[in-house]
Amino acid sequence: MTPYWLTANDFDSFWWVKIYTIFFCCSGWGTAVRFTAVGGRRWARLSIPVLLGANILEAVAVDAMSGGWAHGMVAVAGLILVGTIPMGPGAIKIDPPERHTDFRLSLTRGWVVAYTAWNWAFVYLNYPTYVGYHTAVLAAALILGLADPERWLQARTCTLDLNLLAMATVNAELVAWMDTSHWHDDRATVVVAGVAFAATAAGTVRRFRRTIDRKSPVGRRLHPNRIAPRKNDP
């Protein structure tokens, strides 16, 4: 499809990089990790959250180069998300084939909500034409993520992969049908960015407090009425 995409579209460099990195991560490497013996290797499973972080950093770079308070807050929010992606060996697992070989990353609902707010803010600030369309794409994964946050990443990669495939193939038709550039208001950008930043910051504080509460002697002294964690409680 590449020859057709090159002649049919006039995307900027970010979209071309995003299209092919997502195709590699989702259709290529992600499929291999889920459905082949590659997934039995620890380094291969650990590469998945690394690629998630790299995907976020692509967007962070766009905001960092754009300048302004709104873009700066969204860029910092993206960095917070990258810094709070679970990376430990126990955070990643693949279900056995009889359970549909689902890929699971131990994310929290708070992280999923913060990511959704950050990504929506990024699109609103940088590509308002696609805000309405991408709202539906983000919501599809968010609905599943609120019910089962461990499977959010799998849903997000599938929906984003299909989203970019549709954009590259019938972009003109999608824009004609769902152009939401009129949603953009320069006065609202700082508010949108602030919400995204607040969501990521709140999730980080909550995670930090929970870590203290569950694992440290300080947390147990601060919250003596909490049930102490079991010996093997992660």
pLDDT tens per residue, range 44-59: 888 888 999 999 999 9
Residue 225: predicted pLDDT: 46
Residue 227: predicted pLDDT: 41
CB-CB neighbours of 24 under 10 Å: 12
The mean of the pLDDT values for the chain is 84
Closest CA to 88 of 60, 120, 49, 119: 49
Phi and psi at 94, nearest 5°, equal: -125, 125
Residue 211: predicted pLDDT: 58
User: 228 pLDDT band (50/70/90 cuts)?
Assistant: very low
Residue 177: predicted pLDDT: 87
CA–CA separation, 21 vs 161, rounded Å? 10
Q: Which range has the worst mean pLDDT, 42-51, 185-194, 199-208?
A: 199-208
Read off the pLDDT of residues 76-92 as tens digits, 9 standing for 90 and up: 999 999 999 988 767 88
CA–CA separation, 59 vs 18, rounded Å? 9
Residue 203: predicted pLDDT: 73
Report whether pLDDT(148) > 90. yes
Report whether pLDDT(64) > 70. yes
Closest CA to 131 of 141, 139, 123, 143: 123
Highest mean pLDDT among 176-180, 205-209, 218-222: 176-180
Residue 217: predicted pLDDT: 53
Mean of pLDDT values over 169-196: 89
User: 126 pLDDT band (50/70/90 cuts)?
Assistant: very high
* Tokens found for residue 51: 């690629």
Mean of pLDDT values over 116-144: 94
Residue 212: predicted pLDDT: 54
Mean of pLDDT values over 18-40: 84
Q: What is the DSSP letter of 41?
A: S
Read off the pLDDT of residues 5-21 as tens digits, 9 standing for 90 and up: 999 888 888 889 988 98
Report whether pLDDT(213) > 70. no
Mean of pLDDT values over 64-74: 92
- Give pTM, 2 decimals: 0.84
Residue 232: predicted pLDDT: 46
Angle between helices 69-83 and 109-126 (to 10 degrees): 150
